[in-house]
A = this chain, B = another copy of it.
């Protein structure tokens, strides 16, 4: 049921506020992601980090964090967890001993291959809510909002 029409509770201006409705939609999409990826114990931010490392082996921690808009402190914890699980690794760079380059391990790469159909099925469920055309319009509008 639409939250607008839920009987008895007046949400006032909330259902017309971009931030409120964005948050409600994001939580619904993440719920589906959590459920689909739970057997692999992978959360959305972890998936994003693994994707960027897979696509750009050898980037530094700061580069990956910046590309995803993740704060450095949060990123370190995230990466520690992936490294402990043997999915990603830090390698010291020759150029700067304080800087680490990031790579997937063989296990990390294998996991990413396994996750491809899981991601595809999740995304299909989300697209089904608005149709392929709705998806394109939604992504375009969201990119406009996300631009600084």
Residues of A within 8 A of B (CB): 1-4, 6, 8-30, 33, 44, 48, 51-52, 54-56, 59, 63-64, 67, 69, 119, 122-123, 126-127, 129-130, 134-135, 137-139, 141-148
Contacts and interface: CB of A to CB of B under 8 A. Distances in A.
A9 B52 contact: yes
Contacts of A145: 25, 28-29, 126, 129-130, 138
Given A19-B126, A22-B22, A123-B17, A69 B144 contact: no
Nearest to A33: B19
Shortest beta-carbon contacts, A-B, top 3: A9-B67, A25-B145, A19-B29
A63 B21 contact: no
Given A29-B22, A44-B20, A146-B21, A12 B141 contact: no
Contacts of A69: 3, 24, 27
A86 to B, nearest CB: 22
Contacts of A20: 44, 48
A148 to B, nearest CB: 7
Contacts of A134: 141, 144
Contacts of A137: 137, 141
B141 A18 contact: no
